[in-house]
Copies of this chain bind each other. A is one copy, B any other.
């Protein structure tokens, strides 16, 4: 049972206060669409949503976001007394269970009275047919009776920023809304800005047992009501059971066959998908779903023995990271809230490369490649942004949708005291996203050895990022160095800063990498290099300029005495207070802490890991540097971003501070499950799943406790187990060769996958191995002991 428990997310009843959070946490999805974990009869006011990737549209003239489509899950079930059975949310009736193994969400309605009808509704978003969502309702009536099921499509959707549908037309109904005959219900939509065609089809199949009978009748459609329904009247003898399998499919005119790039007929495709599903039936569909998820978990699972809560929360993170990821496509981003809602516009932040992608680097590198190819496909958007802001090359959007255009509005939050809109500079000062992408390409190369990608796509990104950076720096004659002014680092509370350590170091990494990539291409693909140089108009003088910047860019270094790196120029002169002090200064609990008049702006309190982010990303950071900066920055960090705790967990684990590491690991793991992150900040809905934190939890487990560090020439395994953990197991990759790492308190055991082609160079506890395919190496005593020094 222990093993099984650590795969389930379970709750009794449904607490209205948690409606925004639970709808996200109990998400089902597949990277194409996400279905919020709400109940079937719920309508727009309770935040149900089916959020579909690749449907960017702007309805309010300001925010371009993904569409939430008509809800084909809608169903209500009444008994003869008119009781709404699926609306029962009291804890003694309703149990909700999300099975992370196969992505099936199950709602069990079991009233205390033994003779009451028992209902189970199961739901999943298919991993095999990405357009398909299947539900299975089983109704068992010990006393028999008559029940009425109204099932179909609710066209009234919850949408954050305006109504996206210029046209939403119910099918199989005539002009006055009366239903016509036909096996499926359907809605054809066209979006308001881009005219994207979105088709929703829904059908059902009833399997009645033990003499139950049913009758189906179409209901008239009334626009004001918005529900397109059929009514099924079920007559039960005592003890009978009825199974209603429903399928609905969503397709859009943006769908392409990834193999052929062919755009199909969305209406026909949706119809076919539903028809196929209903023919196959629940058991077959569910079986295929389980097989698909099994294949995913086979390489993606990170196993923790000794702490079920940690195990379950970590799996939740891996699960959600998968749901958020459009693994099927190389044209789409991972949204900061995935497909759990429209917040943050379903678009990629730096989170995609810095957080989400690492999981795939070591489990499904082809997905990592897709994500980076997406950045290549959106180069023009980045070029346009650079040009618009007076720079050259690729200045990636802070919030990037399907075409790389900057989706981050100039005005994001509203200052709650004055009610005035805030001009945050997320979209024009957070330049580090561009070098972050370049640096991630380097990491992708280390993990996969995929030079073909570099040649085909990566090099172009890297050169355009270098070009951007060289155009963004300032040469300060009297200091004889380049500086980068007016930026916003990862710590978003401090805008308009100069020489942010993270940004400048990332920029130098990216510039150096560009020079390295030129060398690689010179050797491996000189024609491609020539072609790129010609297309991009890269001259030898320009490459010299990149080199000059790389060699002369001011990168804040550790102070020789204190080992501290100053987060940005003059940071150390700011008021030195702690987050708790600032909390006491708030005039309103929902105030934004940052720019321009938030409580943190003129203090050293930071929103999230910034210098630590830099140090943790660098596998060669000296211990004293990490130690000094962890000691300095950790107490000053508010963790106002969900990205922050995992970085702290990794840092603490590297320092041997198992208590801190575990605390931050759990903080990251529980961001969504137990966190009190606000659903609305400064008047803007920012609820939904924190996908970067989900992936960050994986990093905390694998890079932190697992001690995985990817060097250019080898993997290093330097683990630390927190108290109570008896075993940790994960997969890792180097140059496309997979290894399995098992850590116990006594030893580290590394097995090279049977399918590997080459030996894997490996450091464990200062011992170096070249691990042949299929081979296993055990190193006793390689698991570090907790070293709780000054901090715990």
Interface residues of A (CB under 8 A from B): 390-392, 415, 417-420, 422-423, 470-471, 473-479, 483, 485-486, 496, 545, 549, 587, 595-597, 601-602
- B420, B422, B477, B549: the one within 8 Å of A473 (CB): B477
Q: List 10 contacting pairs A-B, 8 Å CB cutoff, sorted by A.
A: A417-B417, A417-B418, A419-B587, A422-B597, A471-B478, A474-B483, A485-B486, A486-B486, A595-B596, A597-B597
Known: A485-B485, A486-B485. A597 touches B420 (CB 8 A): yes
* A113 to B496 alpha-carbon distance, docked (Å): 69
Residues of B near A549 (CB, < 8 A) are 477
Q: Would B471 and A597 count as touching, CB distance under 8 A?
A: no
Q: Would B478 and A475 count as touching, CB distance under 8 A?
A: no
Residues of B near A473 (CB, < 8 A) are 477
- B422, B474, B496, B596: the one within 8 Å of A476 (CB): B474
Which applies to chain A's interface (DSSP): helix, strand, loop or mixed? loop
> Shortest beta-carbon distance, A625 to chain B, in Å?
24
A392, A418, A476, A485, most chain B CB atoms within 10 A: A418
Q: Which residue of B lies closest to A418 (CB)?
A: B417
Residues of B near A470 (CB, < 8 A) are 477-478
* A473 to B417 alpha-carbon distance, docked (Å): 38
- B391, B471, B596: the one within 8 Å of A596 (CB): B596
Q: Which residue of B lies closest to A483 (CB)?
A: B474
Q: Which residue of B lies closest to A485 (CB)?
A: B485
* A473 to B479 alpha-carbon distance, docked (Å): 11
* A649 to B420 alpha-carbon distance, docked (Å): 35
Residues of B near A475 (CB, < 8 A) are 474-477
Copies of this chain: 2
Residues of B near A486 (CB, < 8 A) are 485-486, 496
Q: Would A415 and B597 count as touching, CB distance under 8 A?
A: yes
> Shortest beta-carbon distance, A549 to chain B, in Å?
8
Q: Which residue of B lies closest to A411 (CB)?
A: B602
- B417, B418, B474: the one within 8 Å of A485 (CB): B474
* A479 to B470 alpha-carbon distance, docked (Å): 11
* A17 to B601 alpha-carbon distance, docked (Å): 39
* A549 to B475 alpha-carbon distance, docked (Å): 12
Q: Would B485 and A602 count as touching, CB distance under 8 A?
A: no
Residues of B near A587 (CB, < 8 A) are 418-419
Q: A418-B587, A486-B496 are in contact. List 18 more A-B contacts (CB 8 A).
A: A391-B478, A415-B597, A417-B417, A418-B597, A420-B597, A422-B597, A423-B601, A470-B477, A470-B478, A474-B476, A475-B475, A475-B477, A485-B486, A486-B486, A595-B596, A596-B596, A596-B597, A597-B597
Q: Which residue of B lies closest to A496 (CB)?
A: B496
> Shortest beta-carbon distance, A123 to chain B, in Å?
46
* A105 to B626 alpha-carbon distance, docked (Å): 71
* A422 to B545 alpha-carbon distance, docked (Å): 41
Residues of B near A596 (CB, < 8 A) are 595-597
> Shortest beta-carbon distance, A428 to chain B, in Å?
10
Q: Would A477 and B545 count as touching, CB distance under 8 A?
A: yes
* A473 to B474 alpha-carbon distance, docked (Å): 9
- B422, B471, B479, B601: the one within 8 Å of A477 (CB): B471
Residues of B near A415 (CB, < 8 A) are 597
* A418 to B390 alpha-carbon distance, docked (Å): 36
A417, A473, A478, A601, most chain B CB atoms within 10 A: A478
Q: Which residue of B lies closest to A598 (CB)?
A: B420
Q: Which residue of B lies closest to A545 (CB)?
A: B477
* A471 to B596 alpha-carbon distance, docked (Å): 28
* A478 to B587 alpha-carbon distance, docked (Å): 45
> Shortest beta-carbon distance, A534 to chain B, in Å?
20
- B420, B474, B496: the one within 8 Å of A474 (CB): B474
> Shortest beta-carbon distance, A514 to chain B, in Å?
15
- B418, B474, B477, B601: the one within 8 Å of A418 (CB): B418
Residues of B near A390 (CB, < 8 A) are 479
